[in-house]
Amino acid sequence: GDSVTQMEGPVTLSEEAFLTINCTYTATGYPSLFWYVQYPGEGLQLLLKATKADDKGSNKGFEATYRKETTSFHLEKGSVQVSDSAVYFCALSLAGKSTFGDGTTLTVKP
């Protein structure tokens, strides 16, 4: 079946550091790919998405590129802020069904 594997956390960075959270997937078709973020005490929010190979999703300084050849969708940000502290989930969606990774907890220290 479909699956998503995320870099294990937790990840702790200093403010303004570069962030990478790795995500790879296995799917039977050609999925859309997503990053969701969950801030403390809040629900899941869509951060960015990409619907086909080589698409780059971006939002709030975060970016991820849909790499079909490596089945990856790594999340990057050039300079993290304390307010980016949250849990990040990589997900794929295919034929109406979404499959999520287990999440990566990011803590950014001032």
Contact set with other proteins (CB under 8 A)? 4, 32, 34, 36, 42-46, 49, 51, 89, 91, 93, 96-103
55: tokens are: 């698409």
What is the per-residue DSSP string for 30-48? --EEEEEEE-TTS-EEEEE
Query: Which CB, 49 or 77, lies closer to other proteins?
Result: 49
Contact by Cβ (8 Å): 31, 1: no
Q: How near is the Cβ of 96 to other proteins at its closest, in Å?
A: 6
Question: Between residues 19 and 23, which has the closer beta carbon with respect to other proteins?
Answer: 23
Least separation in angstroms between residue 36's CB and other proteins is 8
At residue 81's C-alpha, the angle toward residues 78 and 84, to 5°, is 100
